[in-house]
Amino acid sequence: MTRSHEPKILELLPPQRQLSPAIAKSIENLLDTLRQDPTKQHLLNNANKGRAQIQAFMTKMHSDANGVPFSTFDAFVKRHSESWTNHVKDAEKMNDKAQIDKRKLLAPSLGQHKLSGIDIRVGKGRAPDDKVYQESDYARNHMPRGNFLLSYPSLAIDSGEVIVHYFPVIRGYPKFTGQEDDHHVKENIASEFFSKPIEKAKHVVVTRKENGEAAHLAVLKTIQNEYIFAIGSKNTHFLVSNMEEIKVACCQDISECRAYRAALPLGTAILQMIENLAQESREMLCEFLWQTQTTACFEVLCPSHQHVEPLDHLLTDTPLFYALSFPDLEPSAGTKIAMNPVLPFLFMELCEVQTVPFYMIDFDVANRHILTDSVRSAHGFEGVVNIFLDDELNVIGIEKVKTNWYVCLRAIREKAKTFWGKFCEEEKRKKELIDKAAGDASKRVENHVSTSEEAKDVSDRVEKKDLLSETAKNISNRIRNIQRFTKMSDEMCHTFQRLGKEFIEYIHSNGVAEERKIGLRHSLADHFPIVWKKFLQDTGNREAIKILI
């Protein structure tokens, strides 16, 4: 029995077992448009597959053991809570291979409800998660990048027991592999991320890999028919009902403020996108996400944080939708990796939500190298994510391929950041030694000790490393290693080796002034494309437009 003195938990509507007539009609109209175009029958078939997968998921997860829709949200939570509680326990058993962060939910619209959340992620801190995913079946199958659960206190149906119930709100896209920034994952490892051998693939949905920040969106709905948005970055999420609540939700508790440093601007971008939609589109998007309980995955392009691709043509942070995922610990065989992506793409376009570019092609494993080489030889963007479908149009695996242009520039960027950090530290240390020596020298002048002798002593004590030549050598070796696994031509390899060396010399000669050191460090981290473009202009250099294979 619920204790009367405890605050009442947030009253949410239970998820629906079927799509509402309005949403179902919108999807049917979309499919009718495809039926009328003979050139889009492949999209029609895949969209139908996606619709069937969504309906199967809703039937399975949004009804009780007898197939009856839930009458209350509490009943829905109770039905699946044991599985998710075990999921939390399994994550806790992973020790240093997983991180669990408990979140206080502080948005004013949540009132005094005793509701909190936990973010579960693979890996600890900023350490790469690749090794854990490669070695752990549980991580690959049950721990996507983006794993946010809400925890309820005891429910009325608990008969006085003190039990915490968990239910998923955010379930991001699964970890996938392929080409990393410094190597191509070995075939035997890559195959662990597929549900079937790649030879079984018959089609590929090719999506552009955007050079942004991962973000998520899910929607809950109160009994007052108000939407609650679950938003955030890859590893940190929170709940709000409107834009005004974001800063309060993230920073009301000052001890938690730092944890939301990435999530706050990304969540803001997602919510701003929703508010900018026309009312009909906004309602359709929110209803679809609430009814399906799916997670919409985005890449947010941030002009204030540019990695390698130039984004200064954008005026604001811009979310691009790239996937829809089910919050299901034990998905059906057809959606073990992910759902068919075509309907989500088309539906988001219908809602006027920007998506990453995508297209479909037939696939023959014998011609796999053609697909890969065409991406590697491209210029000006990060790469693609290939989503492989079998003959039943089920996703059997996901693989990324990056352009040689991107991989080489990212290598130069990372070496430049390291170089500049070391250079500034050495300059700081040198200045401290000189200042100390100057103070000592002034005292020795009084005792008739030669300042030239003191200067020589300082010179001998200051360690002199040729950071320029050392970094140039590191860049040359790095580009050469990249060539080994990308089959980049000698001409392109030598071009980027030369550009990397000249770039280090350029930032050294242009950033030595004391007032520019901090600014350059920031620019290399957050505006590298702008610095690189200026380097090319100032030195008369150019990148090769086509990378020969």
- pLDDT for 247-280, tens place per residue? 888 876 656 678 898 899 999 999 999 999 999 9
**CA–CA separation, 73 and 75 (whole Å):** 5
Q: What is the DSSP letter of 184?
A: B
Q: What is the pLDDT of residue 416?
A: 95
Q: What is the pLDDT of residue 549?
A: 35
Side by side, the strands of the sheet bearing 116-122 are 98-104, 116-122, 147-152, 165-171
**CA–CA separation, 327 and 170 (whole Å):** 7
Is pLDDT above 80 for 540?
yes
Is pLDDT above 90 for 404?
yes
Count of other CB atoms within 10 angstroms of residue 294: 24
Is pLDDT above 60 for 548?
no
How far from chain centre, in Å, is Cα 297? 8
Pair 309, 406: CB distance under 8 Å? yes
Q: Tell me the mean pLDDT in the region 293-313.
A: 96
**CA–CA separation, 37 and 167 (whole Å):** 42
Q: What is the pLDDT of residue 76?
A: 93
User: Which residues 6+ apart lie within 8 Å of 255 measured at CB?
Assistant: none
467-486 vs 490-511: helix crossing angle, rounded to 10: 150
User: Reduced to 3 states, what is the DSSP secondary structure of residue 4?
Assistant: coil
**Within 6-123, where are the H helices?**
21-35, 41-61, 73-93
Three-state helix/strand/coil letters over 455-515: HHHHHHHCCCCCHHHHHHHHHHHHHHHHHHHHCCCHHHHHHHHHHHHHHHHHHHHHHCCHH
The full set of domain ranges for the chain reads 21-173+211-355, 406-539
Is pLDDT above 70 for 183?
no
Q: How confident is the model at residue 514 (pLDDT cuts 50, 70, 90)?
A: low
Q: What is the pLDDT of residue 2?
A: 40
Q: What is the pLDDT of residue 247?
A: 86
Q: Tell me the mean pLDDT in the region 286-290.
A: 98
pTM of the full structure: 0.89
Q: What is the pLDDT of residue 462?
A: 40
Is pLDDT above 70 for 113?
no
Q: What is the pLDDT of residue 459?
A: 45
Q: What is the pLDDT of residue 543?
A: 80
By mean pLDDT, which of 4-18, 137-151, 308-322, 357-371 is the weakest? 4-18
Q: What is the pLDDT of residue 143?
A: 94
Burial 424-448 (b: 16+ CB within 10 A, else e): beeeeeeeebbeebeeebeeeeeee
Highest mean pLDDT among 274-283, 305-314, 514-523: 274-283
Pair 78, 68: CB distance under 8 Å? no
Higher pLDDT pick, 166 / 186: 166
E strand or H helix at 116, and its extent?
strand 116-122
Q: What is the pLDDT of residue 486?
A: 87
Higher pLDDT pick, 7 / 218: 218
177-178 vs 395-402, strand pairing mode: parallel
* Alpha carbon distance, N-terminus to C-terminus of the chain: 70
Q: Tell me the mean pLDDT in the region 381-385.
A: 96
Q: What is the pLDDT of residue 198?
A: 92
Q: What is the pLDDT of residue 458?
A: 47
User: Token pair of 194, please?
Assistant: 């597929």
Q: Tell me the mean pLDDT in the region 70-91.
A: 92
Q: Return the closest-CA partner of residue 149 out of 27, 295, 40.
A: 295
Q: What is the mean pLDDT of the chain?
A: 87
Q: Tell me the mean pLDDT in the region 492-519.
A: 84
Q: Is 489 left (phi over 0), alpha (psi -120 to 50) or beta?
A: beta
Q: How confident is the model at residue 310 (pLDDT cuts 50, 70, 90)?
A: very high
Burial 192-213 (b: 16+ CB within 10 A, else e): ebbbbebebbebbbbbbbbbbb
User: Token pair of 524, please?
Assistant: 């290399």
Burial of 474 (0-12, 13-18, 19+ CB in 10 A): middle
**CA–CA separation, 548 and 171 (whole Å):** 40
Higher pLDDT pick, 448 / 361: 361
Q: What is the pLDDT of residue 441?
A: 57
Is pLDDT above 70 for 515?
no
User: Which residues 6+ apart lie within 8 Å of 98 measured at CB?
Assistant: 91, 92, 120, 121, 122, 123, 124, 132, 139, 143
